[in-house]
Amino acid sequence: MAVKPIRLFGDPVLRTPAEPVVDFDKELRTLVRDLTETMLDEGGAGLAAPQLGVGLRLFAFDVDDVVGHLINPVLSFPDEEEQDGPEGCLSIPGLYFDTKRRLNVVASGQDMHGEPVQVVGTALLSRCVQHETDHLDGILFVDRLDPETKKEAMKAIREAEWNNQVAPQIKVSPHPLFGKTR
Ligand SMILES: [Zn+2]
């Protein structure tokens, strides 16, 4: 198994735009496998490479029993239709907020062999593709919330158990200036 730890909200890698994939080599295929296995292990609908700490433009998805991946995605929207509904993120575990997305999407990109592929998605698959492509631009779904809901989300993140578990590491910082006692 190649289940890897998932980076959580607050990790700078989640805010860093990812680089296009240029080498379709064995290393990339291993990354696709790691992404897929970690996503399936966590029961997520999608997982983007930056969530495993890798700054490359690819993600895996698992929607309606279809498991796949997409590399260097470019999104286009065939219409103006929107959807609104609960969205979550493996990097912001346990928290779900209604997020507006486009209903339909056409995502063009490549597979792990460098062959051109297209993912045509509606509803959940479309939501997933938009969410994961945002990750590649350093955007998280909480950024898409209306101001009121975003305030609520940021409060919930501050109070989340997984977030507070990170805090003790600050005490062992070799830079006392940045140390905070809670
Ligand atoms: Zn996510």
Contact 76, 105 (CB under 8 A): yes
Confidence of residue 182 (pLDDT cuts 50, 70, 90): very low
Ligand 1 center–CA 174 separation, angstroms? 31
Q: E strands, 113-153, where? A: 116-122
pLDDT digits (tens, 9 = 90+) for 140-178: 999 999 999 999 999 999 999 999 775 555 555 555 555
Q: How far is the CA of 89 from the centre of ligand 1 (A)?
A: 4
Q: Which of 95, 91, 81 is nearest to 123 (CA)?
A: 81
Catalytic residue of the set 132, 152, 159, 161? 132
